[in-house]
Amino acid sequence: MTIREELEKLEHEQLDKRAAFADETKGRLHPEEAKVEDVRTAYQRDTDKIVHSKAFRRLMHKTQVFLSPEGDHYRTRMTHTLEVARIARTIAKALDLNEDLAEAVAMGHDLGHTPFGHAGEVALSEAMGQPFRHNEQSLRVVDVLENGGEGLNLTYEVRMGILGHTGPRIPETMEGQIVRWADRMAYVNHDIDDAIRAGILQNSDIPKFVLKTLGATHSARINTLVCDMITASREAGAITLSGHVEKALQELREFMFERVYRNPVAKGEETKAKEMLKRLYDYYYRNPQALPSDFQPQMSLEGMERTVCDYIAGMTDNYAVDKYTEIFIPSGWNVRG
C-alpha cells in the first residue's frame, strides 16, 4: 500500500461519513492517473496546483478593499485567501470533515478577482455589457487560463466549491459550504481592521448587538463565529450558525457595506480605476496585436471580448497602472518610468 493509499484509508477511518473522501472524487475534467510515488491525495494535489499557479502569486498584488493603501499591513487578496483557508481548515477539522478539500477550495476561491477589487468587476461588466462575476472567473482561471491554456485540471469538488463560494449556487460538499461561510467571516472582520487603520471607522462604531454577540476584538469575533459554527453544525447535521450569531454576522455585514464598502474615502479612487480599466479594455479591443503572445491563440477560439477581458482581469493593480501609463501617458510626464 502506497502512502497516498494509506492516507485515503485513514480518511475513511477518521472522517465523518458525510465528508468528501479523496478517493471518491467525481474526477477531473481530463483523466489524470495518480503516480505510484505520489504521497498526496487528490485534494492535496489540487492545493499544490493552485499554490504554484501564476494566478495565485498575483493575489499578493491585488486590492482587497482600499485602493493603493499607504502602509504594509492592509489586506490583499493573498492575505484574505490565507485567512479564509485557516478558518475553513479549523472548522472542517472540528467537524471531522476533509480539511484538504476545504483548503483547496479556499486557496482557489478568489483567483478570478480583477485589479482594483469591486471597481474592476464593475468596469469589466460595463465594458462587456454583461455581468462579470469573480467566482465564475475563478473557475475559468483553473479550468482554462492557467498552465498555458490547459488549466489546472482540478477535481470536481474543488471546482464546484470555487464556483459556489458566493452567488446562488451552493456547493454540494460540506467542505465547500464551510469555505462559503469562512469567506464572509474573514472579510467582514479583517476589513474592520483596515477601515480603522484608514481612519474611517472606530471599534466603538460597530453596532452594540454585534459587539455583545460576537465580541469587541477581531480575534474574539472570529473565535465566536468559528466555535458557534462547529457547535451549531454538530447539532443540526448541516453547516450552519446559530440564529442569533448568524443575525449578528448579517448585521455586521450590512454595517460594513454602509460605513466602509460604500464609503467615499475607501472608494474615492474607484471612478479613476474604473475609467482606467475601461480605457485599457477599449485599447486592446482595437489593438489586438498589443496583447501578449500567449493570448493571441485565444482570440480565434473565443473572440476578442473574452480574450481582452481575461487579460485585464488577470492584471495586478500595479501592472494595470503601468500598462495605462505606458499606453496613455506621454513619456515626458511619466513619473513612474
pLDDT digits (tens, 9 = 90+) for 33-60: 877 778 999 999 999 999 999 999 999 9
pLDDT tens for 187-222 read 999 889 888 887 888 989 999 999 999 999 999 999
The whole-number pLDDT of residue 335 equals 55
171-184 confidence digits (pLDDT tens): 999 999 999 999 99
pLDDT of amino acid 19: 98
Q: What is the separation of C-alpha 335 from the centre of its chain, rounded to a whole number of angstroms?
A: 33
Residue 284 has pLDDT above 80, yes or no: yes
pTM above 0.85, yes or no: yes
Q: Supply angle C-alpha 92, 134, 220, rounded to 5.
A: 40
Backbone angles phi and psi of 243, in degrees to 5: -55, -50
The predicted structure's pLDDT at residue 190 = 86
**How high is the pLDDT of residue 333?**
63
Phi and psi of 72, rounded to 5°? -90, -10
Q: Which of the 8 DSSP states describes residue 15?
A: S
Q: Distance between CA 19 and CA 275 in Å, rounded? A: 46
Which of 57-66, 129-138, 233-242 has the weakest average pLDDT? 57-66
Q: Are 81 and 110 in contact (CB under 8 A)?
A: yes
The string of DSSP letters for 281-308 reads HHHHHH-GGGS-GGGHHHHHHH-HHHHH
Q: Tell me: pLDDT of 295 over 50.
A: yes
pLDDT level of residue 276 (50, 70, 90 thresholds): very high
User: 145-164 pLDDT, tens per residue?
Assistant: 999 889 999 999 999 999 99
pLDDT, position 193: 84
Query: Would the pLDDT of 73 be above 50?
Result: no
